[in-house]
Amino acid sequence: MTPFPGAPVVDLRGDDPEERRRWRQMCERSAGLEGEADAAARTIILDVRARGDEAVIEATARFEGRTLLAADFELCADARREACARVRPELRAALEVAAANVDAFHRTQRFAESGRESGDAHHRSRVTPLSRVAVYAPGGTAAYPSSVLMTAIPARVAGVDEIILFTPRPTDVVVLAAQLAGVDRIFAIGGAQAIAAAALGTATIPRVDKIVGPGNAYVTAAKRQVFGLCDIDGIAGPSEILILADSRAEPPLIAADLLAQAEHDPLACPILVTDCADLLAPVQAELASQLASLPRATIAARALAEQGALVLVRDRAAMVAAANDYAPEHLELLVDDAERLVPALRTAGAIFVGRWTPEAAGDYTAGPSHVLPTAGAARFASPLGVWDFLKYTSILRMGPAALREQAPAIVALARAEGLEAHARAAELRFGRGLGNGLTDDLTSDHHGEPRHD
Amino acid sequence: MTPFPGAPVVDLRGDDPEERRRWRQMCERSAGLEGEADAAARTIILDVRARGDEAVIEATARFEGRTLLAADFELCADARREACARVRPELRAALEVAAANVDAFHRTQRFAESGRESGDAHHRSRVTPLSRVAVYAPGGTAAYPSSVLMTAIPARVAGVDEIILFTPRPTDVVVLAAQLAGVDRIFAIGGAQAIAAAALGTATIPRVDKIVGPGNAYVTAAKRQVFGLCDIDGIAGPSEILILADSRAEPPLIAADLLAQAEHDPLACPILVTDCADLLAPVQAELASQLASLPRATIAARALAEQGALVLVRDRAAMVAAANDYAPEHLELLVDDAERLVPALRTAGAIFVGRWTPEAAGDYTAGPSHVLPTAGAARFASPLGVWDFLKYTSILRMGPAALREQAPAIVALARAEGLEAHARAAELRFGRGLGNGLTDDLTSDHHGEPRHD
């Protein structure tokens, strides 16, 4: 049995500066600046830029011990079909339940053109889907078919033309998830080389507009560096849950949900915040007892001991404040009248309201994407959604009246900014500003009519 | 007079591989990977993280030759008021016209909660504004009051609680623009140190959720590096215009609008694409003649000669294809029946339709923000808008029926992913999964009712 010393307790009920300092430190985690993986990722990106497919082949051999030809990068239709057929029926059924809910939820995220007409001016914001996006899914123990659903389905709902899955070793169930999600192509490539190839394009791999989905440290570092060449969904850190619980919450559920987070990764952050000191002993006991029979007990125990905390606060208001300070990826409300707390909770990726909404439901079947901002990014970032796969374009159309009305302001501002050619570009439409003998009115030309409108 | 050899001509009407290569090279510009400024920016960021205000003071002294105390970072109310009062009335009036139009346009960008109810499950995407954002405005010759309007007004319309302007040397007109845009605080700090302070917070400067607005190479490098600590609006490159013109377009207008772009920066990109060879000579003549009297002729001539091009294509379809390949920040349509081209034009920051819509109107008074994706980012990025200052939060609430219905799928998927604690977190709600003597039904507890919903 994994030795489990208990989760650390942080007591914020008093004004103990040392306890407050510990809590502040927990809150101040962030995606941070570049780390060790960045130099390695940069080398791979530059190599892929210089040598394309060859660099991808070489990095795959070096880092994964796989030898493949460019012709083998992509899974053929037969291989995809066969992989799908090998998935057990009950697992297929489970994926279908999840896919249907994810699809239905994201179909409610609708974005319409906005804009405004005023006189002969008409300006609008057009909405169009991105053309081609990459969905990344890690290999190894973190090969999660659920992540393929959670990233590809919002892209498909948005109307993206081509969705490409990059994953180092596509398992059967991942291939089936891709099929259900409407993925167009699957490349059996992973790591920083996959990110580089997707962002830059190679002879075999088409360049994409955006890369989404979680990956290891090298994938994350590569995504950070290609941002600008293409878009990315964000910089992912370890998974987190913060549970708000009051005196009526059930210790077995609290412990189970903390452990479901903790088992992901030794760096996962499972945090309980409560105003009820009496909860602590039963929660610690439940953690120890449930841990005992968990296959990933070692991982979960480390996460609990190293990033976890049972945080005691004075009252309900302090619970809300703690959640807002921490800005967790997942925020679970195991409190009375939980829905009433929601409006005050401003910084969380996803909020799980009440005992019948375990975070695990959000991971798989509820509908909203489980790709969420981590490391405090919930202050400013959103869950993955249809919005990630749309872009706006401003479309401006003025007639002579609007331009005539605005010209004095354009000219005044342009001259104030020292941009004379800007001022003249407006004046010239009315035959002024060049002093070059043009007629005073260009609004009718030799056809007797304005040429363009 | 500035010597002007004429803008380079690229002829894509045939299949000359050298001409195609030149065009591809123009299209393949991008924000690229890290450059020279990045190392310098990183040093400043790490110093601000370590030493806070002191590092800001030191960097300001070193790079700008300004000595200031932390107490002088922020402009006081009196200083703001006095600065506003010094602005000439006609310039104030011009700013007011622009501010009103920018405000009215952005008020049409509305985002409502979306979501879905199904049985006792209710999931939604809540929309909330960011709490605190930084607007950056460069100093020196690039101190553009218009940029303050174009960044701060969308933030204010979104409902951001606190908008902070960072600008190294606030001119009177910049301070007035901030006032009209509803900026809450002004810090007279610029450069990478301003970006670092905004992203990390110091004793004097509060940490923000997002940083927007253009800046020099160091500011851009710093923004790229703090992405993840906070959000940023994108990685800005030099300004660009691509004009589509046909045989009926007027050479003086084409030249004027190319020059308005070219005068920004020797690195600006002014491109004409036309299917009418007869346009080239008059456009070259107009460029030379209009350049002659421009104050920023040297800058504009360099931009035209070095990044500019007059591109000849076969027909209207090839014009559209060229625009989509280039993905320009500004796309101007000086063609017959311009509006009919718009649906096919998929990659541009902003499209200016017809001769009465000079790009200069978009820079100042039309309404849509002039902060737009550059360097090909229009493939995947949007103009600055209200959407930049909102975030979504997923709010999930299930009842016992929904969880019971989904539990088998949750359990199957969790076990397939090797995440046993996830499976148990769902099962436990129904008294299963622990084998620890819990009753078979936790749905009623000692209060006889489910505790939370």
Task: Give the pair of three-digit tokens for residue B33.
Answer: 């990977």
Q: Where in the sequence numbering do the catalytic residues of B fall?
A: 329-330
Average pLDDT along chain B: 92
Cα radius of gyration rounded to whole Å, chain B: 27
How many angstroms separate the Cα of B274 from the Cα of each of B11, B246, B329, B357? 10, 6, 18, 18
Interface test with chain A among B4, B397, B427, by most A beta carbons within 10 Å: B397
Q: What is the pLDDT of residue A5?
A: 81
Please tell me the distance from the alpha carbon of residue A290 to that of residue A299, in angstroms, as a whole number.
Answer: 14
Give yes or no for A453 touching B (CB within 8 A).
yes
Give yes or no for A235 touching B (CB within 8 A).
yes
Task: Give the pair of three-digit tokens for residue B55.
Answer: 């590092």
Looking at chain A from residue 23 to 82, which residues have their Cβ under 8 Å from any Cβ of chain B? 30-34, 42, 45-46
Indicate whether B437 pLDDT > 90: no
DSSP structure class, residue B74: B
Q: Do B406 and A450 touch (CB under 8 A)?
A: no
CB neighbour class for B439 (10 Å; exposed up to 12, middle 13-18, buried from 19): exposed
DSSP-derived pairing of the beta strands A231-232 and A210-212: parallel
How many Cβ atoms from other residues are within 10 Å of residue B73's Cβ? 22
Please tell me the distance from the alpha carbon of residue B260 to that of residue B297, in angstroms, as a whole number.
Answer: 11
Indicate whether B399 pLDDT > 90: yes
Looking at chain B from residue 380 to 419, which residues have their Cβ under 8 Å from any Cβ of chain A? 380-383, 385, 387, 391-400, 402-403, 406, 408-410, 412-414, 416-419
Q: Are A15 and A316 in contact (CB under 8 A)?
A: no
Q: Do A420 and B145 touch (CB under 8 A)?
A: no
Please tell me the distance from the alpha carbon of residue A383 to that of residue B126, in angstroms, as a whole number.
Answer: 11
Interface test with chain B among A96, A125, A389, by most B beta carbons within 10 Å: A125
Q: Do B294 and A364 touch (CB under 8 A)?
A: no
Sheet with B269-274, side-by-side order of all strands: A114-118, A121-129, A390-397, B350-353, B330-334, B240-245, B269-274, B309-312, B9-11
Chain A residue with Cα closest to B41: A33
Chain B residue with Cα closest to A116: B105
B169-212 tens-digit pLDDT: 899 999 999 999 999 999 999 999 999 999 999 999 999 999 99
DSSP B278-314: GGHHHHHHHHHHHHHT-TTHHHHHHHHHHT-EEEE-S
Residue type, A408: P
Contacts of B267 (CB under 8 A, 6+ apart): B237, B238, B303, B306, B307
- φ/ψ of residue A127, rounded to 5: -110, 125
In Å, how far from its chain's centre is CA B102?
15
Task: Give the pair of three-digit tokens for residue A104.
Answer: 């239905």
Instruction: Name the residue ranges covered by the structural domains of chain B.
Output: 9-31+237-367, 36-116+130-236, 399-442
Please tell me the distance from the alpha carbon of residue A381 to that of residue A387, in angstroms, as a whole number.
Answer: 12
What residues are paired with B232 via a beta bridge? B211
B106-162 tens-digit pLDDT: 999 989 899 999 999 999 999 999 999 999 999 876 679 999 999 999 999 999 999
Q: How many CA atoms lie within 13 A of B431 on its CB side?
A: 9
Of B115, B350, B392, the CB nearest to A383: B392
Please tell me the distance from the alpha carbon of residue A286 to that of residue A290, in angstroms, as a whole number.
Answer: 6
How many Cβ atoms from other residues are within 10 Å of residue B365's Cβ? 30
How many Cβ atoms from other residues are within 10 Å of residue B23's Cβ? 21
DSSP B195-262: HHHHHH--SSS---SEEES---HHHHHHHHHHBTTBEES------EEEEEE-TTS-HHHHHHHHHHHH
In Å, how far from its chain's centre is CA B385?
8
CB neighbour class for A248 (10 Å; exposed up to 12, middle 13-18, buried from 19): middle
Q: Are B379 and B323 in contact (CB under 8 A)?
A: no
Measure in Å the smallest separation between the Cα of B392 and chain A Cα atoms. 5
- φ/ψ of residue A443, rounded to 5: -75, -20
Q: Do B381 and A231 touch (CB under 8 A)?
A: yes
DSSP structure class, residue A369: -
pTM: 0.93
Q: What is the pLDDT of residue A189?
A: 96
Q: What is the pLDDT of residue B42?
A: 93
Give yes or no for A250 touching B (CB within 8 A).
yes
Q: Do A356 and B145 touch (CB under 8 A)?
A: no
Contacts of B15 (CB under 8 A, 6+ apart): none
Q: Which of A324, A354, A302, A343 is nearest to A242 (CA)?
A: A324
Q: What is the pLDDT of residue A440?
A: 39
Chain B residue with Cα closest to A408: B94
Run of H or E residues at A197 = helix A191-200
CATH class of the domain defined by A399-442 = mainly alpha
Please tell me the distance from the alpha carbon of residue A416 to that of residue A410, in angstroms, as a whole number.
Answer: 10
Please list the ranges in chain A whose pLDDT falls under 70. 1-3, 31-34, 141-142, 432-453
CATH class of the domain defined by B36-116+130-236 = alpha beta
Measure in Å the smallest separation between the Cα of B259 and chain A Cα atoms. 6
Please tell me the distance from the alpha carbon of residue A317 to that of residue A313, in angstroms, as a whole number.
Answer: 9
Q: What is the pLDDT of residue A452?
A: 44
Question: How would you classify residue B125: left for phi > 0, otherwise alpha for psi between -120 and 50, otherwise beta?
Answer: beta
Of B391, B396, B419, the CB nearest to A368: B396
- A186 three-state secondary structure: strand
Please tell me the distance from the alpha carbon of residue A441 to that of residue A428, in angstroms, as a whole number.
Answer: 9
Give yes or no for A145 touching B (CB within 8 A).
yes
In chain B, pLDDT over 90 holds for what percent of residues? 87
Measure in Å the smallest separation between the Cα of A167 and chain B Cα atoms. 15
Indicate whether B450 pLDDT > 60: no
Q: What is the pLDDT of residue A290?
A: 96
Measure in Å the smallest separation between the Cα of A239 and chain B Cα atoms. 13
Q: What is the pLDDT of residue B2?
A: 57
What sign does the dihedral B96-B97-B102-B108 (CA atoms) show? positive
- Using an 8 Å CB-CB cutoff, list chain B residues near A362: 394, 396
B40-94 tens-digit pLDDT: 999 999 999 999 999 999 999 999 999 999 999 999 999 999 999 999 999 999 9
DSSP B8-69: -EEE-SS--HHHHHHHHHHHT--S-S--HHHHHHHHHHHHHHHHTHHHHHHHHHHHH-----
CATH architecture of the region A9-31+237-367: 3-Layer(aba) Sandwich (3.40)
Q: Are B368 and A125 in contact (CB under 8 A)?
A: yes
Please tell me the distance from the alpha carbon of residue B392 to that of residue B403, in angstroms, as a whole number.
Answer: 24
Give yes or no for B247 touching A (CB within 8 A).
no
Interface test with chain A among B422, B434, B442, B443, by most A beta carbons within 10 Å: B422
- Let me know if the fold of A9-31+237-367 is the same as that of A36-116+130-236: yes
Run of H or E residues at B270 = strand B269-274
Looking at chain A from residue 433 to 452, which residues have their Cβ under 8 Å from any Cβ of chain B? 434-436, 438, 442, 445, 447, 450-452
Please tell me the distance from the alpha carbon of residue B2 to that of residue B297, in angstroms, as a whole number.
Answer: 6
Between B16 and A5, the more confident residue is: B16
Measure in Å the smallest separation between the Cα of A73 and chain B Cα atoms. 24
CB neighbour class for A2 (10 Å; exposed up to 12, middle 13-18, buried from 19): middle
Of A228, A352, A425, the CB nearest to B396: A352
Chain B residue with Cα closest to A434: B290
Q: Do A436 and B95 touch (CB under 8 A)?
A: no
Interface test with chain A among B248, B356, B415, B445, by most A beta carbons within 10 Å: B356
Q: Do A364 and B93 touch (CB under 8 A)?
A: no
Please tell me the distance from the alpha carbon of residue B257 to that of residue B277, in angstroms, as a whole number.
Answer: 19
B297-316 tens-digit pLDDT: 999 999 999 999 999 999 99
Task: Give the pair of three-digit tokens for residue B298.
Answer: 């040297």
Looking at chain B from residue 182 to 211, which residues have their Cβ under 8 Å from any Cβ of chain A? 209-210
Q: Do B105 and A98 touch (CB under 8 A)?
A: no
- φ/ψ of residue A263, rounded to 5: -70, -10
Of A104, A225, A382, the CB nearest to B391: A382
Q: Are B173 and B87 in contact (CB under 8 A)?
A: yes
Chain B residue with Cα closest to A389: B380
How many angstroms separate the Cα of A360 from the Cα of each of A257, A371, B397, B413, B414? 8, 13, 13, 10, 8
Cα radius of gyration rounded to whole Å, chain A: 27
> What value does the mean pLDDT take over residues B395-400?
97
* Chains A & B: contacts with CB separation below 8 Å: 479
- Using an 8 Å CB-CB cutoff, list chain A residues near B425: 253, 256-257, 259-260, 358-360
Q: Which of B332, B341, B372 is nearest to B249 (CA)?
A: B332
Residue of A106, A264, A330, A370 marked active site: A330
Measure in Å the smallest separation between the Cα of A407 and chain B Cα atoms. 8
Q: Are A98 and A120 in contact (CB under 8 A)?
A: no
A373-387 exposure pattern, b = at least 16 Cβ within 10 A, e = fewer: bbbbbbbbbbbbbbb
Of B30, B353, B360, the CB nearest to A422: B360
Looking at chain B from residue 316 to 375, which residues have their Cβ under 8 Å from any Cβ of chain A? 333-336, 338-339, 342, 345-346, 348-369, 372, 375
- B188 three-state secondary structure: coil
What residues are paired with A232 via a beta bridge? A211
A329 counts as catalytic = yes
How many Cβ atoms from other residues are within 10 Å of residue A39's Cβ? 10
Please tell me the distance from the alpha carbon of residue A352 to that of residue B398, in angstroms, as a whole number.
Answer: 9
Of A33, A120, A228, the CB nearest to B31: A228
